[in-house]
Homo-oligomer: A and B are copies of this chain.
Amino acid sequence: MQRGKGCGSLSNRGSTCDAVHTGSIFAEYDVMLLCHFIIFDKELGMKNSSSMAVSEMQSCIDACAQCHQICLKMAMTHCLKMGGKHVEPDHFRLMVNCAEICQTSANFQLSGSAFSARLCAVCADICQACADSCRELDGMEECVQACDACASSCRSMAA
């Protein structure tokens, strides 16, 4: 369940997420997060530590899905268009590898695999390497950000 979609799915059932509308002090990200947790609470009644574990895993799945999408999109559009250093073998290969391990890591978590933490540990290291490689190049800020976020989230899950 993605954050945005999760909110949407609730509203489709005639409910509203009042927290979204009650103030102007929230940045959108906070609203999303708040909305996300409220939905989890409402739908699943999970207000305990189990809820924390589930939402932490969902956050990691989201981070992996996001990193997968951005690495794949950037590699296959921006990097190929730019050429030069952007298609240097080590860099380009790392982006494609990063996209794939993020996809696999997300799939393991979605399936409830007992090996999820193992995958997250590998994923964290590859994301870190990809972030470092992207930092050297122009126009890759979005990719750096997604890789850093995914590395951090995966490291938490792997611990």
A83 to chain B, nearest CB (A): 7
Contact B125 A36 (CB under 8 A): no
Contact B110 A69 (CB under 8 A): yes
Stoichiometry, copies per complex: 4
Contact A24 B30 (CB under 8 A): no
Listed A/B pairs (18) with beta-carbon separation below 8 Å: A2-B62, A3-B4, A3-B5, A4-B32, A7-B28, A7-B29, A8-B33, A9-B29, A15-B27, A17-B27, A20-B26, A22-B24, A61-B69, A76-B110, A80-B87, A87-B87, A93-B113, A118-B125
A7 to B65, alpha carbons, bound, how many Å?
A: 16
Chain B neighbourhood of A7, CB < 8 A: 4, 28-29, 31-32
A108 to B76, alpha carbons, bound, how many Å?
A: 10
Interface centre among A72, A77, A97 (most CB of B within 10 A): A97
* Docked complex: A103-118 residues within 8 A CB-CB of B: 103-104, 106-108, 110-115, 118
Interface size counted on chain A using CB atoms at 8 A: 74
Contact A36 B69 (CB under 8 A): no
A94 to B76, alpha carbons, bound, how many Å?
A: 10
Question: With contacts A12-B27, A21-B24, A89-B112 known, what are 20 further pairs, Cβ within 8 A?
Answer: A1-B142, A2-B2, A2-B62, A4-B32, A4-B62, A7-B32, A8-B27, A9-B142, A20-B28, A22-B24, A65-B65, A73-B110, A76-B93, A77-B111, A80-B87, A90-B114, A96-B111, A115-B122, A115-B125, A122-B122
A97 to chain B, nearest CB (A): 5
